[in-house]
Amino acid sequence: MARAQFDRSDVIDKSIALFWKNGFSGSSIQQIVKATGLKPGSLYLAFGNKEALYREALEGYTQNAIAQIRNTLDSAKNVGEGICVHLEKIIRESTGENYCSCFLVKTQLELAAKGSDLYTFAASKLGEIEALFRSYLEKEFNKTVSRRRAASLMLHIFGLRVYGYQQNSADRMRQGLREGMPWLPWK
């Protein structure tokens, strides 16, 4: 019996787009089949079940986000400036047309009441992102200050991702960031 050939990363990217838009509960197997172009049997053979595919989508999304953050922070003159650039990018995204929030944040909001393994997995991915910020902050600050500032940064990012649905909120978001994180080198 011949196995179907497909690009796994392409299937995961298409799944990210679908799950990001519709959530876990709002994405049916039929929608996944249509979005990925795979037959149900191929999906189950390759990924096991919908939850496992969703988990891989969360992982792919997280790795992409981490790569983007690293690129931004590595390109900046210093960590604070890099964080400001990253936050400005989030503001632009969250106030733009067709904004879809953050896939990890949406997962937590959707699945919080259910206490699912996917909720815990999304929380661990957000923890990885916080740890990344902390590791960069530790290049300029001690561990205690870096830990507090990384937590503050994540809380602000979470807020931006949710608050971004408000129209014409970019200036208020910038003002709130400056007020909440005065230690950053705002321009």
* CB < 8 Å & 24+ apart, contacts of 146-155: 149/181, 149/183, 152/180, 152/181, 153/83, 153/181, 154/126, 154/129, 154/130
What does the pLDDT average to over 105-132? 90
Q: What pLDDT does residue 5 have?
A: 77
Specify the range with the lowest mean pLDDT, choosing from 108-117, 126-135, 152-161, 177-186: 108-117
Indicate the average pLDDT of the chain: 91
Residue 100 sits at the vertex; the CA angle it makes with 97 and 101, to the nearest 5 degrees, is 115
For the record, the structure tokens of 157 come out as 């990012």
Residue 163 confidence class, pLDDT cut points 50, 70, 90: confident
Higher pLDDT, 160 or 72: 72
* Alpha-carbon gap, residue 68 to 87, rounded angstroms: 12
Element (H, E) at 137: helix 117-137
Q: What pLDDT does residue 2 have?
A: 45
Q: What pLDDT does residue 168 have?
A: 67
| Residues contacting residue 102 through CB under 8 Å, at least 6 positions apart | 157, 158, 161
99, 164 contact by CB (below 8 A) = yes
Residue 61 sits at the vertex; the CA angle it makes with 139 and 20, to the nearest 5 degrees, is 135
Residue 136 confidence class, pLDDT cut points 50, 70, 90: very high
pLDDT one-digit tens code per residue, 69-117? 999 999 999 999 999 999 999 999 888 878 888 899 889 888 887 668 9
> For 66, left (φ over 0), alpha (ψ -120 to 50), or beta?
alpha
Q: Nearest to residue 56, comparing CAs of 86, 31, 37, 32?
A: 32
The answer to whether the pTM exceeds 0.75 is: yes
Q: In angstroms, what CA-CA distances link 89 with 126, 139, 158? A: 18, 23, 14
